[in-house]
Amino acid sequence: MITDTTGACTRTPLNVARIRQDFPTLQQQIHGHPVVFLDSAASSQKPVAVLEAMEQAYRSTYANVHRGAYSFSMRITELYEQARASIADFIGAPSASQIVFTRNATEALNLLAYSYGRTFLRPGDEIVLTDLEHHANYLPWLELARERGLNIKRIPLTAEGTLDLSCLDALLTPRVRLVSFAHVSNVLGTITDPRPIIERAHALGALVALDACQSAPHMPLDVGALDADFAVFSGHKMLGPTGIGVLYGRAELLAAMPPFLTGGDVARDVDFDRVVWEDAPLKFEAGTPAFVEAIGLGAAVTYLGKLGLAAVHAHERALTEYALRRLSALPGLRIYGPRDAKLRGGVVTFTVDGVAPHDIATALDQRGIAIRSGRHCAHPLHRLLGLDSSARASFTIYNDFADVDALVDGLAAIQRHPVQTAPARAADCRTPQVVQARGFALA
């Protein structure tokens, strides 16, 4: 339990000093300074428990899953399925068979667009998204709409940066088949209560997909209690490894959907002219899956579960409230999104007058402070905000009030001694050479 450095009575329920000992990457220095990692919304650091679980799988019992009648294969399959069960329990899924492993949330949403969308959506059908969405929850539906003649509508934002749910009745027409939205915005930090959207969509017979990438690692999530039809999240944002993500789906929906990819392990029986698919989740996990990564993700949710997601959320809310208060005192700094910490996750996106976000990030790095700069894979939202790019600090279990102080002190130093903005800086943080080679326009 810690009190913030301004002497206010803000407290958090986590022992951050103890938690930080579990993260090897945080035990080093960058440019002679202790690591202050404030980019966990992009990808979090990994605790020893995750690293050891994966190393143990490779060192002691490695074999392919679901395919061997010998000890190594049976043991690794058991660990793989135990991870699936742990994740189901972590998010309140009624059954482990409703947990499909994917490479990441992006692949999970593409799976939905391909398997559900191409099977059940027809020309003229409508999909409702929001103005807050990450590209992962926009581009798959945009491509599907272009291909199938669908219409995409968006829930707009209020001036505060929350969803304007007063528009729901006008948007949710009988032609709407799917509503897909972020539980927590990766740019504005906005927390959206899923319940009114789910209830009103279901009343019209529409399905709901929840992008839980920025909520599953940070607050209690119960997909069963919410009655969500689908939910997705990525392992690498929640202390787990890269290359593993999750699609949750209602059992009857997964049963009705065809495979996304075909090949090994998705078929129960194959002849030269017919195929009988496996049941979910196996029919969606073609080929050799990322089973060691799944075991790592299982260890990550176990680690988070021991801390308690309610405690994690309370900790991050206290840090966010403190950050909003301290950053607001800096002249020329503008914060985007709700000003009430109760309405946002542990994300603070901002700009500083006269200094490009990329230059802010580069200058802070010289102090050992890692933040994100760019458009955060949310270009349409940045256009709505009138921004080419922004800077973003994000918090999780290994951050404390001293990290916020380091950020504020670093920004104050930048304002006292502005860095030189480089010409032709790419707003999405790619180097100009890479951007030009790939055919992107420089912002």
Q: Rounded CA gap, 309 and 219, in Å?
A: 5
CB neighbour class for 389 (10 Å; exposed up to 12, middle 13-18, buried from 19): buried
CA distance 61 to 73: 8
Residue with tokens 């899956």: 289
For 258-264, the CB contacts below 8 A with 24+ separation are 258/115, 258/119, 258/283, 259/115, 259/283, 259/284, 259/286, 260/110, 260/111, 260/114, 260/115, 260/284, 260/286, 261/286, 261/287, 262/286, 263/287, 264/288
Contact criterion met (CB below 8 Å) for 306 and 397 = no
Gap between the Cα atoms of 401 and 324, Å rounded: 12
Q: Provide the terminal-to-terminal Cα distance of the chain, rounded to the nearest Å.
A: 44
CA separation for the pair 90, 100 (Å, rounded): 14
Question: Of these residues, 9, 167, 213, 377, which one is catalytic?
Answer: 377
Indicate the SS3 state at residue 73: helix
- pLDDT in 10s for each residue of the chain, 443 residues: 455 555 554 578 999 999 999 999 999 999 999 999 999 999 999 999 999 999 999 999 999 999 999 999 999 999 999 999 999 999 999 999 999 999 999 999 999 999 999 999 999 999 999 999 999 999 999 999 999 999 999 999 999 999 999 999 999 999 999 999 999 999 999 999 999 999 999 999 999 999 999 999 999 999 999 999 999 999 999 999 999 999 999 999 999 999 999 999 999 999 999 999 999 999 999 999 999 999 999 999 999 999 999 999 999 999 999 999 999 999 999 999 999 999 999 999 999 999 999 999 999 999 999 999 999 999 999 999 999 999 999 999 999 999 999 999 999 999 998 766 544 344 443 433 322 222 222 22
Q: How many C-alpha atoms does 164 have within 13 Å on its Cβ side?
A: 12
Q: Decide: 133 and 191 in contact? Cβ < 8 Å.
A: no
Tokens found for residue 294: 């799944």
CA dihedral 430, 403, 337, 440 (to 10 degrees): 0
The DSSP element (H or E) to which 155 belongs, if any, is: strand 151-155
The number of residues in the chain equals 443
CA dist., res. 36 & res. 25, Å (int)? 10
* Per-residue pLDDT at 425: 43
- Check residue 116 and report its DSSP letter: I
| Cβ count near 355 (within 10 Å) | 20
Query: Rounded to the nearest 5 degrees, what angle is found at the Cα of 337, between the Cα atoms of 44 and 398?
Result: 25
- The H or E element that residue 97 is part of is none
Q: What residue type is assigned to position 425 of the chain?
A: R
Query: What is the rounded distance in angstroms from the CA atom of residue 51 to the CA atom of residue 160?
Result: 40
Known catalytic residue at 377: yes
